[in-house]
Amino acid sequence: MSPTLEKFVDQLPIMNVLQPNHRTKDGPYYEVRMEEFRQKLHRDLPPTRLWGYNRQFPGPTFEVNQNKPIRVRWMNHLPNRHILPIDGSVHNVANEPEVRTVVHLHGSETRPDSDGYPEAWFTNGFKETGPSFSREVYEYPNHQRATALWYHDHAMGITRLNVYAGLAGMYIIRSEQEKALQLPAGKYEIPLLIQDRSFNQDGSLAYPRQPDDAADNLPNPSIVPAFLGDTIVVNGKVWPYLEVEPRKYRFRILNGSNTRDYQLSLDSGQSFYQIGSDGGLLKRTVKLEQIGVEPAERVDVIVDFSKLKGKTVVMRNNLGANADPNDPTGEIMQFRVTKPLSRKDTSKIPRHLSRIPSLKQNNITAIRQLKLVGSTDEYDRPLLLLDNKKWHDPVTEKPELGATEIWSLVNVTNFTHPIHIHLIQFQVLDRQPFDLERYNKDGKIVYSGSVTAPALSERGWKDTIAAPSAQVTRVIAKFAPYTGDYVWHCHILEHEDYDMMRPFTVINPDE
Ligand code: C2O
Ligand code: CU
Ligand code: CU
């Protein structure tokens, strides 16, 4: 258990915007170093040893323009010893002397050689590289809608530890169309990267050993790996506060936690105006009292503090009816409406935001039924699998370039998995419950309720979607504009590392 830390004593930090090292005719060029460093995460906590991009936790924010490509050299300058116990995993990274990293820009439309394929890892100084090709300089075309993406580590079998150590940051794409909407901007637009952590008394990160080592005598081999920290960290500070003016603010919320999902609300009883999802602006603004955010999901919201002068507002996390009311993770951060209004608020909450053409009209090339299942390996260690296949099994999902496909995610486990597909943004078609008991008896999917439309907050472009237990969640996507090897996986990082990840290959039908 972490030391008891007083809430709302540190100001919310805002990650600085990364400046390019230089500009070439191919666009801005950035260099980012991964290093070990210490940073103070709470007034009463000794500095924490972390890994971060450019010695920052979270990493610096990229601000880029739509259709203006950038290049980034990701440099591993990390020590050879992990700051967290590497207790093996199904991919046996415990025996590897060098710390492996690879960077993925989550939600981006990127060529395979710049996508951060898990086996395209590289070690300190690029001395050693994984079995898949990795470029030293990644290219991001930014040829997609304006939105908040995020970059994070994705190295095979060790992602949960690298991200937990601090390797994550935000990446914001801007467009003219979005600017025209006059949303709150500049200092009134604030990223909120929410994570949970646990600490030791000396300020170091605490992360439990996972029940995964064949050499261990597992007390309970049926435990599925997961991590729930007891402390909330936003933009790298424990339970921070933010002083705001009585006006509208735009918050770019990202759940960057390993396992934890959040049900966010404001204790003032106010609503959020959600304007965007993972892949950009929604069709219309939706007013929501509570917003669910699974790991890796982003929500773009406006909060109006104009009638709350002098008040404080706590952003809460609804833990559900059975939760301990004293669970400290029921609170995220505090807003203090204490700043004077510096100028008239002319920003808008537009009713109509953007056009989203439905993919349903496309010619559907394939419908895939993909089961999310619990399993065990040869040592009886728990695994979670996609369609009963492990990472190293041959590729089975091979969409053709430009094809539109429906993926039916059939969750036969007992909990929700946030499923993420690389390369594309998809649309959620619907969900339908089925009888899990019946399935466990005879392996048949028998529907037990009617089809439900996606939640209002999910009716935009998505790259990560909650696939709840005993439900079929259907998504539709067009696989373009690149061919090559990508991955799809559960974004609970412990699940991902324990083989809930699969390759997929976009193929060119003419080759
Ligand atoms: Cu955010 Cu494959 O990852
Ligand atoms: Cu991704
Ligand atoms: Cu999962």
Find the 20 Cα to ligand 3 centroid distance in Å. 36
Together in a domain, 243 and 130: no
Together in a domain, 417 and 486: yes
Together in a domain, 226 and 118: no
Position of tokens 């030391």? 3
Residue 346 located in a structural domain: no
In DSSP terms, 397 is beta-bridged to none
Report the nearest-CA residue for atom 1 of ligand 1: 106
Q: Confirm or reject: Cβ of 489 under 6 Å from ligand 1.
A: yes
- Determine whether 464 is exposed, middle or buried from the number of CB atoms within 10 Å of its CB (0-12, 13-18, 19+): buried
β pairing state of 103-106 and 62-65: unpaired
d(CA 420, CA 256): 14
Together in a domain, 148 and 27: yes
Together in a domain, 93 and 115: yes
Q: Confirm or reject: Cβ of 106 under 6 Å from ligand 1.
A: yes
d(CA 117, CA 112): 7
Which ligand has the minimum distance to the alpha carbon of residue 493?
A: 3
d(CA 176, CA 221): 53
Give the pLDDT score at 208: 81
Q: Ligand 1, closest atom to CA 464?
A: 1
d(CA 310, CA 244): 10
Query: Measured at the alpha carbon of residue 320, what is the angle toward residues 316 and 321, in degrees to the nearest 5?
Result: 125
> Distance between the two ends of the chain, CA-based, in angstroms?
56
Find the 329 Cα to ligand 3 centroid distance in Å. 21
Find the 289 Cα to ligand 3 centroid distance in Å. 26
CB 67 within 8 A of CB 40: no
Torsion, Cα of 84, 88, 91, 96 (10° steps): 70
Find the 106 Cα to ligand 2 centroid distance in Å. 4
Together in a domain, 315 and 375: no
Q: Confirm or reject: Cβ of 422 under 6 Å from ligand 1.
A: yes
Q: Which residues of the chain have pLDDT under 50?
A: 212-223
Residue 310 located in a structural domain: yes
Give the pLDDT score at 26: 86
Q: Confirm or reject: Cβ of 502 under 6 Å from ligand 1.
A: no
Which ligand has the minimum distance to the alpha carbon of residue 487?
A: 1
Which ligand has the minimum distance to the alpha carbon of residue 490?
A: 3
Find the 420 Cα to ligand 1 centroid distance in Å. 7
Other CB atoms within a 10 A radius of the CB of residue 394 amount to: 6
Find the 232 Cα to ligand 1 centroid distance in Å. 21
Query: Which among 260, 267, 266 has a CA at the least distance from the CA of 319?
Result: 260
Which ligand has the minimum distance to the alpha carbon of residue 154?
A: 1
Together in a domain, 167 and 206: no
Which pair of tokens denotes residue 331?
Answer: 């609170």
Find the 433 Cα to ligand 2 centroid distance in Å. 27
SS3 437: helix
Query: Measured at the alpha carbon of residue 279, what is the angle toward residues 277 and 284, in degrees to the nearest 5?
Result: 50
Residue 385 located in a structural domain: yes
Residue 343 located in a structural domain: no
d(CA 29, CA 75): 13
Instruction: Count how many Cα atoms sit within 13 Å of the Cα of residue 247 in the half-sphere of its side chain.
Output: 20
How far, rounded to the nearest angstrom, does the alpha carbon of residue 386 sit from its chain's CA centroid? 19
Give the pLDDT score at 167: 98
d(CA 116, CA 133): 10
Find the 138 Cα to ligand 2 centroid distance in Å. 15
Find the 373 Cα to ligand 3 centroid distance in Å. 9
In DSSP terms, 63 is beta-bridged to 172
Residue where a domain stops, chosen among 136, 155, 178: 178
Query: Helix count (H) and strand count (E) of the chain?
Result: 4, 31
Together in a domain, 137 and 280: no
DSSP string, 188-212: GEEEEEEEEEEE-TTS-EE-PPPTT
CB 475 within 8 A of CB 370: no
Find the 163 Cα to ligand 2 centroid distance in Å. 13
DSSP 268: T
Strand boundaries in 44-188, DSSP class E: 48-53, 62-65, 70-76, 103-106, 137-140, 148-153, 168-174
Together in a domain, 41 and 98: yes
Which ligand has the minimum distance to the alpha carbon of residue 118?
A: 1
Number of domains composing the chain = 3
Longest CA span, the chain: 66
Residue where a domain stops, chosen among 178, 211, 241: 178
Q: Confirm or reject: Cβ of 296 under 6 Å from ligand 1.
A: yes
Residue 348 located in a structural domain: no
Together in a domain, 373 and 400: yes
Together in a domain, 217 and 275: yes
> 78 lies in which domain range?
22-178
d(CA 162, CA 86): 10
Give per-residue pLDDT as tens, 204-218. 999 987 654 444 444
CB 163 within 8 A of CB 150: no
Residue 479 located in a structural domain: yes
Query: Which among 158, 473, 46, 83 has a CA at the least distance from the CA of 294?
Result: 473
Instruction: Count how many Cα atoms sit within 13 Å of the Cα of residue 410 in the half-sphere of its side chain.
Output: 16
Position of tokens 């396992």? 259
Query: Which among 231, 164, 270, 297 has a CA at the least distance from the CA of 10?
Result: 231
Q: Ligand 1, closest atom to CA 487?
A: 2
CATH number of the domain residue 169 falls in: 2.60.40.420
Give the pLDDT score at 219: 42
Residue 369 located in a structural domain: yes
Q: Ligand 1, closest atom to CA 118?
A: 2
Q: Ligand 1, closest atom to CA 107?
A: 1
Strand boundaries in 226-361, DSSP class E: 231-234, 237-238, 241-243, 248-255, 262-266, 272-277, 280-288, 291-293, 298-304, 312-317, 331-336
Report the nearest-CA residue for atom 3 of ligand 1: 106
Q: Confirm or reject: Cβ of 160 under 6 Å from ligand 1.
A: no
Position of tokens 């060029």? 29
Q: Confirm or reject: Cβ of 495 under 6 Å from ligand 1.
A: no
Which pair of tokens denotes residue 233?
Answer: 């960290």
Q: Ligand 1, closest atom to CA 489?
A: 2
Residue 367: its H or E element = strand 364-376
Residue 354 located in a structural domain: no
Asked if the interface predicted TM-score (ipTM) of this complex is over 0.95, the answer is: yes
Together in a domain, 446 and 463: yes
Residue where a domain stops, chosen among 143, 178, 213: 178
Q: Confirm or reject: Cβ of 389 under 6 Å from ligand 1.
A: no
